[in-house]
Amino acid sequence: MKNSNKQVRIEKIVHGGFGLGRIDDGRVVLVGKVLPGEMVAFSVTEEKNRYLYAEAAAIIEPHPSRIDPPCPWYGKCGGCDIQHCDYKQQLRIKTDIVRDLYLHQFPDTRTELLTLMHDTLPSPVQFSYRQRIRLQVDANGRTGFLGFRSHTIIPIGRCLVAKDGLNVVLSELQKNSSCAKILNNCDEFELLFNPISSGVICLFHLLRKPRPADIRQAEELTGTIPLLERVYFQGVDFPLTGPFGSKEIPQTNSLQMRLSPFAEEDTPLKLSWEVGGFCQVNLQQNERLIRLVVDCCRLSRNESVLDLFCGMGNFSIPLAARAASLLGIEGQGSAIRSARKNSTDAGLANTTFEKGPIHEVCRRLVRESRVFDCVVLDPPRQGVPGLARELTALTGRKLVYISCDPATLCRDLAAFARCGFTLRYMQPVDMFPQTHHIETVVLLEKN
């Protein structure tokens, strides 16, 4: 169904980045790439029983913060979706999204939320912040990102939110004959910025196991592209393989970042993670996020910490330096290896890291009657459904929740409230400028 004859006033931007309006028959229309208060003519792209998805055919009354998006692929590429407004407005939108979702769950808390919730913490940089990008490869060997709400690959030559070094290497790869040969047997690849060296690492996802010709081509790539340090291969039926390149490349599968001291008496920390493993893509904002979590936990030297979804120790290592003991739980083996290494490198003797499914481990810890002064959790987008009772039993006093999805966060907060937790602090954090995605840190205390 396509119809661009109707107009709608946009009330607000909702979770997912869509502008919400209401048409005469009472249905909600969700329009992409619009701003609050704008009057827009729209074309329906998808029709549901109670709402419509639409795209803006024309902006009749634009918002004062509307700007021309700087990216030539904006609107086609499925990555950024709020480049059409200035950065101050982006931050206001994110604050409003988190507030609206929370008030939907807790409608009687509007007054207290004014003091408990803070405006979204800006990112130090709004472009060139991503230290990792993943590109798709089509049947013709062209590389790009998936289109908005589609599986169509949009060829791109430069990503404005990626580190400059990633774009330099991407440009070189796209015109390199050795890369073209590898891409013939590849469905996607990743470019990773190495914070220590400012070089770039490439990880090709092959459709079959690498062959000698692939390795020769990888070596040619590192020999001809100055910023490209290492090349790896990975696939569904084989593990990470490499590094390949010149003899001068570091013989390690890790990347590393440095954290500035958190206090005068602290020493700088180094955190490493394996190629293919997880690390926050906005490294500058990640350091501010870590400091925020450390401040929320307010640990004393005699307190114990449980860090769930601990990854490579992004929060664990700084927290353990302030606590009596820390237990970190994570489901990914490579992340646990990195967390243990990071703990050893930091000279810590008070940490334990275990690999296992979070729900199962929490149930076991409850059976063992374990209680921790502070519980920290940083789950994926689905949050922690069905885990509120176990976390209540495990938490002695404080629970700090780092969320990458405000909708599942607010659902989980309702479950925690039923178990006797009270919200003490809420801070949205802009980890992903130019997109609707929001990180949020909340502090809960047991009544």
Q: What is the pLDDT of residues 167-218, one digit of tens each?
A: 999 999 999 999 999 999 999 999 999 998 899 999 999 999 999 999 999 9
Tokens of 249: 């490349």
pLDDT of residue 162 exceeding 60: yes
Query: What's the pLDDT at 261?
Result: 80
Element (H, E) at 399: strand 395-403
Using the CB atoms, write b or e for 61-94: b if 16+ within 10 Å: ebbebbeebebebbbbbbbbbbbbbebebbbbbb
Domain 132-250 CATH class label: mainly beta
Check whether 1 has a pLDDT greater than 60.
Answer: no
Round to the nearest angstrom and report the end-to-end CA distance of the chain: 52
Please give the Cα distance from 56 to 338 (Å, whole number): 46
Q: Are 292 and 319 in contact (CB under 8 A)?
A: no
Q: What angle do CA 344, 349, 354 make, to 5 degrees?
A: 75
C-alpha 214/C-alpha 191 separation (Å) is 17
Cis geometry, peptide bond prior to residue 70 (ω within 30 degrees of 0): no
Give me the active site residues, please.
404
Peptide bond between residue 243 and the one before it cis (omega within 30 degrees of 0):
yes
Q: How many CA atoms lie within 13 A of 167 on its CB side?
A: 13
Look up residue 83 and give its amino acid: Q
The tokens of 154 are what? 């949009």
- Provide the pLDDT confidence category of residue 309 given band limits of 50, 70 and 90: very high
CA angle 331, 335, 339 (to 5 degrees): 115
Is the separation of the CB atoms in 211 and 197 below 8 Å? Answer: no
132-250 shares the fold of 1-64 = yes
- H helices present in 106-211, as ranges: 110-116, 164-174, 177-183
Quote the pLDDT of residue 420: 96
Q: Judge whether residue 250 has pLDDT over 80.
A: no
Least confident of 15-29, 90-104, 240-254: 240-254
Find, among 432, 164, 444, 426, the residue nearest to 286 by Cα. 432
* CATH number for the domain formed by residue range(s) 1-64: 2.40.50.140
| Domain-wise residue ranges, the chain | 1-64, 132-250, 282-446
Cα–Cα distance list, 408 to 86, 220, 379 (Å): 27, 46, 10
pLDDT digits (tens, 9 = 90+) for 362-404: 999 999 999 999 999 999 999 999 999 999 999 999 999 999 9
Asked if residues 85 and 93 have their Cβ atoms less than 8 Å apart, the reply is yes
Residue 262 and residue 37: Cα distance in Å, rounded?
42
Q: What's the pLDDT at 251?
A: 67
Residues 95-108: what's their mean pLDDT?
96
Domain 282-446 superfamily per CATH: Vaccinia Virus protein VP39 (3.40.50.150)
Mean pLDDT for all residues in the chain: 94
Q: SS3 for 417?
A: helix
User: Which backbone phi and psi does 178 adopt, to 5 degrees?
Assistant: -65, -40
Taking only Cα atoms into account, the Rg of the chain, rounded to an integer number of angstroms, comes to 23
So what's the pLDDT on residue 247? 58
pLDDT at 249 over 90: no
Q: What percent of the chain has pLDDT over 70?
A: 97
Sequence-separated (6 or more) residues with CB below 8 Å from residue 72? none
Q: Which residue has the tokens 């013939």?
A: 184
> Does the pTM of the predicted model rise above 0.85?
yes
